[in-house]
Amino acid sequence: LRARAAEERGLPARTTDGHTVEIGANVNRPDQVPLALDQGAEGVGLMRTEFLFLERDRTPDEDEQYAFYRDMAAALDGRPLIVRALDIGGDKQVAHLHLPHEENPFLGVRGARLLLRRPDLLEPQLRALYRAAREGAKLSIMFPMITSLGEVLELRRIADSIRADLDAPQVPLGIMVEVPSTAVQADVFAPHVDFFSIGTNDLTQYGLAIDRQHPDLAAEADSLHPAVLRLIRMTVEGAARAGRWVGVCGGIAGDPFGAALLAGLGVRELSMTPRDIPAVKARLRGLDHGALKALAEEALAAGTAADVRALEARLGA
Ligand code: PEP
Ligand code: MG
């Protein structure tokens, strides 16, 4: 099976009844792109830009960021690239930003909350991204840790004024769904965003109230918990009301059974660690989307994550 997955990794993730799921890679650096493409990635569904800040002891300026995004897009040669605006806070701390200490960083000023409080971080990043777009980079921008509509409207307003200033083209603007409030209100957000990408690592953490890094609770922090699946379903349904697509870029997207369930829930794009791609594609290619939709309904009605996982046997080898 593994040999076949490797052989067929360049083929699309098309189910036996002709439904195609887009497959992206979670990649942060241009030099990692060739490997991702070789594994069968069709683009980059999540570029975590905090790595630009974490890997050095100072803040990269606008020009450095511009060069980086340009190179990333060039490596992808016209394939889609979703760049996530800086997601600092929580588990991602950067000493040289000198942020105040917080008792509960996961519930504090992280992601979009930090971006809106620190124009000195947000604006150079957006300028760098729009400059890259102006030079032909095919990219989308997404904002992390969105919890309210006000944040979305304000981020869009800032992005658009920077775009106009630079005389740059429009680029799709999406949001991450990482907290229950955003999943529940997806229909309210949908008219104001171009796409949604669900961060199941954080959505599981905030949905189940389990620290994503807690060593004793790792087994309970299962993104296939039916409550998390219901939040995903709400996001897909809310997004569909305004015709928006939904992807998943959290770890569960790279799990073959998880990927199958997500496809059944109506998720259109999955982005994962490159090495997970061949097995996920092989899994989806062997399945019927109609059957996956029925399986997803059963998973939504299940009592526990273990009950959901037991449904895998239904899919056969
Ligand atoms: C997530 O939360 O699932 C996600 C993709 O973002 P990160 O893991 O970078 O927090
Ligand atoms: Mg996250």
Q: Helix, strand or coil for residue 161? A: helix
200 CB within 6 A, ligand 1: yes
Give the span between the Cα atoms of 142 and 310, in whole angstroms: 34
Name the one residue in this structure whose structure tokens are 């992390």: 144
Band (30; pLDDT cuts 50, 70, 90): very high
28 CB within 6 A, ligand 1: no
Band (64; pLDDT cuts 50, 70, 90): very high
What is the per-residue pLDDT for 57?
86
Q: What are the tens digits of pLDDT across the range 264-299?
A: 999 999 999 999 999 999 999 999 999 999 999 999
Q: What are the tens digits of pLDDT across the range 107-130?
A: 999 999 999 999 999 999 999 999
> What pTM does this model have?
0.97
Question: Which of 94 and 83 is assigned the larger pLDDT?
Answer: 83
User: Looking at the predicted complex, does its ipTM rise above 0.85?
Assistant: yes
50 CB within 6 A, ligand 1: no
What is the per-residue pLDDT for 2?
82
Ligand 1, atom 6: closest residue by C-alpha: 199
250 CB within 6 A, ligand 1: yes
204 CB within 6 A, ligand 1: no
111 CB within 6 A, ligand 1: no
**SS3 track for 206-263:** HHHCCCCCCCCCCCCCCCCCHHHHHHHHHHHHHHHCCCCEEEECCHHHHCHHHHHHHH
What is the per-residue pLDDT for 145?
98
Give the span between the Cα atoms of 178 and 40, in whole angstroms: 26
Q: Select from 26, 176, 206, 231 the residue to mutate for testing ligand 1; criterion: most ligand atoms less than 8 Å from CB.
A: 176
* Spacing, Cα 212 to ligand 2 middle (Å): 10
Residues written for the chain:
317
207 CB within 6 A, ligand 1: no
CB atoms near residue 172 (< 10 Å) = 14
**Residue 137: closest CA among 56, 89, 79, 87:** 79
Q: What is the mean pLDDT of residues 160-166?
A: 98
What is the per-residue pLDDT for 90?
82
pLDDT at residue 243 greater than cutoff 80: yes
Ligand 1 atom with minimal separation from the 91 CA: 10
CB atoms near residue 101 (< 10 Å) = 7
What is the per-residue pLDDT for 307?
98
Percent residues over pLDDT 90 in the chain: 91
Q: Select from 46, 91, 202 the residue to mutate for testing ligand 1; criterion: most ligand atoms less than 8 Å from CB.
A: 202
Give the span between the Cα atoms of 63 and 3, in whole angstroms: 44
Across all residues in the chain, what is the average pLDDT? Answer: 96
Give the span between the Cα atoms of 251 and 273, in whole angstroms: 8
235 CB within 6 A, ligand 1: no
Band (134; pLDDT cuts 50, 70, 90): very high
* Spacing, Cα 142 to ligand 2 middle (Å): 12
Give the span between the Cα atoms of 251 and 222, in whole angstroms: 10
